[in-house]
Amino acid sequence: MMKRDITEAARRAAELRAEIERHNRLYYAEARPEISDYDFDMLLKELEALEKDFPALMAPDSPTQRVGGAPLSGFESITYSKPMMSLSNVYSKDELRAFDERVRKILGKTAFTYVLEPKIDGVAVSLRYEKGIFTVGGTRGDGRTGDNITANLKTIRSIPLKLHHAGNMPELLEVRGEVYMDRKGFQELNREREEAGLEPFANPRNAAAGSLKQLDSRVAARRPLNAVLYAAGEVRGLVTRSQAELLAQLREFGFPTAPRTWNCSDIEAVLAGLDELEGMRHDFPFEMDGGVIKINEFGLYEELGATAKSPRWAIAYKYEPEQAETVLLGITVQVGRTGVLTPVAELEPVLVAGSTVSRATLHNEEEIARKDIRIGDRVLIEKAGEVIPAVVKVNLDARTGREKKFSMPAQCPVCGEPTVKREAEVARRCINMQCPAQLKNWIRHFGSRDAMDIEGLGVTLTEQLVDRGMVKTPADLYRLKQEDIAELERMGPRSAASLVRAIQESRGQNLWRLIHALGIPHVGAGSARTLAGELHTLDRLMSATANELEAVRDVGAVVAQSITSFFSRRDTRELIARLKDAGVNMESGEDAQAAGTALAGKTFVLTGTLKNQTRNQAVERIRRAGGAVSGSVSKNTDYVVAGESPGSKYEAALKHKVKILDEEAFTVLMEAAEGVQKEPDL
């Protein structure tokens, strides 16, 4: 577009942002989507293209900012003027009646009602909106001080970046609620972790917490996170008189709220609602382990007061976890993408938490030994986090002496090759890269969206390619011919041509995608980006020693050893040689150009809130200009960038006599560096 078209581009960008946020609200907050996922993605891609052509159109509340940015060096603290308190728990109806009696004793003859909400087993968060724009978000922490995880929260599509409201926006609105991970996404994430030799998350709550504490928000963006909001913290310019009124107002603003709540006239109505809620516990997308009971009328909260940790106007009622006993008939072993062997319990079918369970993961041999699980045992089954069936314990009293101990196989159950258990890993692996089970998963991973992004390389096609011997390593993909693919089941000339084109186009993918696609144990997409950005070429990565790799940000001893072991194998080096011959890109195209620019060798520390850009955007600009970002101030720091409400790093900068830049001075510095000018004298 020519320069005079920026007005039209700005108009269209505003339309797209409004339309995208409307569809986000319809999908997440109102559960009534109007368009397909494909049509939604097309709207987002059009906006991304506009913002790329006209960088001045980029805004902090743009939906395109949900993809995440460059890794942070650490989390800053965030302080709450109104504490985020936790709730006391009760486990019986008698305890709940006792709570009601305590409330009535304090309030005397004052009339009040209750609101009952599902108790979401998620991670408590706070979101701050200033004049309708999401500015900062944090974890609960100790109630007074939490971690600033704004970048990660912005990646969650159900959280509005701008409030939907026809009238005047409140000057300040702090909203509180829970972030959770849905069941399907949790299962897929754990499968990927087990294949990488990592410990699986115990439940969806742990998975959500781990996702929100990622320093690389791009990792959080790939996690299936969602949110439910139900409370307010600090508020200016908005008046609500009850919990029921607040929930209605939150829905009007576009926040996702609980799909069902109960307005109850007394404690007996609450108890009836809890019975109804328990029958719905498997219908919600989030894990629900009980109910939260709140006094509805806000005007009574001050009189009821609070203890040191929890309010006296609310309480949580927790259900007993659902368990069932059954017989462990046998143990089978699955082989994953990276060769990890996972033992699976084959069970006599039993009903647990609303569904029939016939299999349960046993994770690894250490777990089996710790619980002394034997074939033929009567075992107690519970859905971990109400999702994945797990063997909780063995009924030792039911043992007859005929039960059999289990040992992980010394040979792969699929290919028969020897298995190994590496030091510092809990997993046993098949290291034969030609193992059919491993190869099929590897090829699918190689072509996945977060790796080489080869559209059309799905499960059925991969099965056929491997079973027919057409693909024995990822390098064989680049030798496939259209006529050979067209003969496969569910394929034809047009589909075959599209696949061949997608494979050939993948040769130009960035280096980090190739590193991730190789399937190096413990190296995910985030680590692959870091390695590509630091080392720039695959040859440099292959030749790096473990000590050199440990010097790379976020790479520890286990990951470093895994990388050196992977590249020391002859079959790996043969694969890399074949990929080179196929013309696959082996260099990073987006980081190498930063070296030698005006800011090369300069170290920055950021503190406080920036008005005109997100912290991740500022970090990305620094790194692209050759600078480095640190999480702490020292005598080696060149600049401290201070936004609004700077923290202790500002004082440290004064102590060490480090040059301090406000946002305007920082912008001048970055524009000069981006224009390939010398570093300005600020």
Could you give phi then psi for residue 406, rounded to 5 degrees?
Answer: -115, 140
Q: Which residues, other chains included, contact 613 with Cβ-Cβ below 8 Å and sequence gap of 6+?
A: 60, 621, 663
User: Could you count the other beta carbons within 10 Å of the beta carbon of residue 550?
Assistant: 15
Phi-psi region of 272 (alpha: psi -120 to 50; beta: other; left: phi over 0): alpha
Q: What is the DSSP string of 634-649?
A: -TT--EEEE-BS--HH
Contact 452, 513 (CB under 8 A): yes
Provide the H-helix boundaries in 148-222: 150-153, 183-195, 204-212, 217-222
C-alpha torsion angle, residues 620, 622, 625, 628 (rounded to 10): -110
C-alpha distances in angstroms, 180 versus 144, 163, 205, 214, 249? Answer: 22, 21, 6, 15, 22
Residue 41, classified by CB atoms within 10 Å of its CB into exposed (0-12), middle (13-18) or buried (19+), is: exposed
Distance between CA atoms of residues 36 and 676, nearest Å = 44
Which among 119, 294, 383, 440 is annotated as catalytic?
119
Write down the residue that tokens 């509180």 correspond to: 176
C-alpha torsion angle, residues 365, 370, 376, 379 (rounded to 10): -120
- Catalytic (active site) residue 119: yes
Distance between CA atoms of residues 429 and 411, nearest Å = 9
Q: Which residues, other chains included, contact 277 with Cβ-Cβ below 8 Å and sequence gap of 6+?
A: 116, 118, 260, 262, 288, 291
C-alpha torsion angle, residues 224, 228, 231, 234 (rounded to 10): 40
CA 136 to chain centre: 18
Distance between CA atoms of residues 566 and 635, nearest Å = 39
Could you give the residue numbers annotated as active site? 119
